[in-house]
Amino acid sequence: MIDLSKYTKELSKLFSTAGNILIICHINPDGDSVGAQLALYHYFKSKGKSVSLMAPNNLQEFLKWMDGVDDINIFIKDRKKCRTLIENADLIVMVDFNQPNRLGESEEPVLASKAKKIVIDHHLNPENFADLIISDPTKCSTSELVHELICNVNGTVFMNRSYAEALYVGIITDTGNFEHGAYSSKTFRIVADLLDTGIVKEEIINLIYNNFSSDRIRLQGFALNQRMVVLPEYRSAYIYLSKSDLKEYNHVKGDTEGFVNMPLSIKGINFAALFIEKDNFIKLSFRSKGKFPSNEFASQYFSGGGHLNASGGEYFDSLENTIEYFLKALKENVWRF
């Protein structure tokens, strides 16, 4: 457990002296990154600060209903405006990532900016690319971490409905609706405060989880039926989807979200991988149950990282060769499963 109160003085100073604040989430933003970003946004706005938002690339459909998302500027869609926001910022807050390459194509201008930079994140092993790095891997989500920091700076619990909605989305998406991850009794105490603002959890869950197209559900069926390989000898299973598979099911961004978790519900399976064929590389997602460090596996073999039980990486080769390489990597780790 990290004593976050040690950051209060420095954060208070950075927040109060900043003229223009820019908050940035990571590339392919998930619910926690956008949740933490919007929570900070609602906090700064309530304090009358000048605050802007940026994402390296597009948001997924299931997040587009949240209060404040329309104010998120997308770097790859509006480079000129985003470069101006980066240049004019005197404080940049980056949330839910700890490696500069998660800024995507905005990495170069952000790193070159003269603004003070803060990273707020809950992944292991942060890289040193900001003036202040607040990293707490014991938190279930960056959203939970942001809330504690804001309350410390505020001197008392900060809360309003839009802020609560953003934090709730961050917490449920990073814990699979309280199924996995580092949530604690403290998380539930925070959630109690969030629900007291009047947010309707059933509505939020419907917007996040029950908002799929029929194509997406059919793709899920196809992936499980035709593209899942179970390897009992490694207590592992993987799913692979080629570009043409995705095309056949009219795939849109976000459709394969959650697929990697499915093999873990098979009895005896402790490690699951998902391979998605992109234009010139393969994107990998990993999930594990128990002690197997999926993040070490991701970083050792697939230039990636993440959490103990949820990680990802990439490999610049064909789908076939990537799977072959993955099987070799499993073999080298057989003693760990």
Chain residues in the site for ligand 5GP (CB under 6 A): 99, 123, 260, 285, 304-307, 310-314
**What 8-state DSSP symbol labels residue 254?**
T
Report, in Å, the least distance between residue 176 CB and ligand 5GP. Answer: 11
Q: Can residue 277 be called a binding residue for Mn ion (CB under 5 A)?
A: no
Nearest residue (CB) to ligand 5GP, 285 versus 333: 285
Q: Is 292 left (phi over 0), alpha (psi -120 to 50) or beta?
A: beta
Report, in Å, the least distance between residue 61 CB and ligand 5GP. Answer: 16
The bridge status of strand 310-315 relative to strand 305-306 is antiparallel
Binding partner of residue 311 among Mn ion, ligand 5GP, none, CB cut-off 5 to 8 Å per kind: ligand 5GP
Nearest residue (CB) to ligand 5GP, 43 versus 326: 326
Report, in Å, the least distance between residue 167 CB and ligand 5GP. Answer: 17
Report, in Å, the least distance between residue 251 CB and Mn ion. Answer: 24
Binding partner of residue 288 among ligand 5GP, Mn ion, none, CB cut-off 5 to 8 Å per kind: none
Radius of gyration of the chain (CA): 20
For 273, the 3-state DSSP assignment is strand
Binding partner of residue 312 among ligand 5GP, Mn ion, none, CB cut-off 5 to 8 Å per kind: ligand 5GP
Query: Which long-range CB contacts under 8 A does 315-323 form with residues at least 24 apart?
Result: 315/281, 315/282, 315/284, 316/280, 316/281, 316/282, 317/281, 317/282, 318/282, 319/240, 319/242, 319/275, 319/277, 319/282, 322/275, 322/282, 322/284, 323/238, 323/240, 323/275
Nearest residue (CB) to ligand 5GP, 293 versus 305: 305
Binding to Mn ion by CB under 5 A, coded x per residue (else -) over 123-142, reads: -------------------x
* Side-chain-side CA neighbours of residue 16 (13 Å): 8
Using the rule CB under 5 A, give the single segment among 96-104, 155-163, 211-219, 242-250 that binds Mn ion.
96-104
Question: Contact at 8 Å (CB) between 22 and 92?
Answer: yes
Report, in Å, the least distance between residue 26 CB and ligand 5GP. Answer: 8
Window 167 to 186, contacts with Mn ion (CB under 5 A) = 174
For 275, the 3-state DSSP assignment is strand
Window 18 to 57, contacts with Mn ion (CB under 5 A) = 32
Nearest residue (CB) to ligand 5GP, 91 versus 134: 134
Binding to Mn ion by CB under 5 A, coded x per residue (else -) over 142-161, reads: x-------------------
Q: Which residue is nearest to Mn ion (CB)?
A: 32
Task: Report the b/e string of 42-56 with b at 16+ CB within 10 A.
Answer: bbbbeeebebbbbbb
185-195 helix and 161-174 helix, angle to the nearest 10 degrees: 140
Report, in Å, the least distance between residue 317 CB and ligand 5GP. Answer: 15
Binding partner of residue 123 among Mn ion, ligand 5GP, none, CB cut-off 5 to 8 Å per kind: ligand 5GP
Report, in Å, the least distance between residue 155 CB and ligand 5GP. Answer: 31
Rounded to whole angstroms, how far apart are CA atoms 192 and 126? 31
Task: Report the b/e string of 61-75 with b at 16+ CB within 10 A.
Answer: ebbeebebbeebbbb
Q: Which residue is nearest to ligand 5GP (CB)?
A: 312
Cα distances (Å, whole numbers) of residue 228 to 12, 68, 224, 237 = 50, 38, 5, 7
Point out which residues pair with 310 in neighbouring strands.
287
Q: Contact with Mn ion (CB under 5 A): which of 85, 96, 97, 311? A: 96
Binding partner of residue 181 among ligand 5GP, Mn ion, none, CB cut-off 5 to 8 Å per kind: none
Structure tokens at 175: 């814990």
Using CB under 5 A, list all residues that contact Mn ion: 32, 96, 142, 174
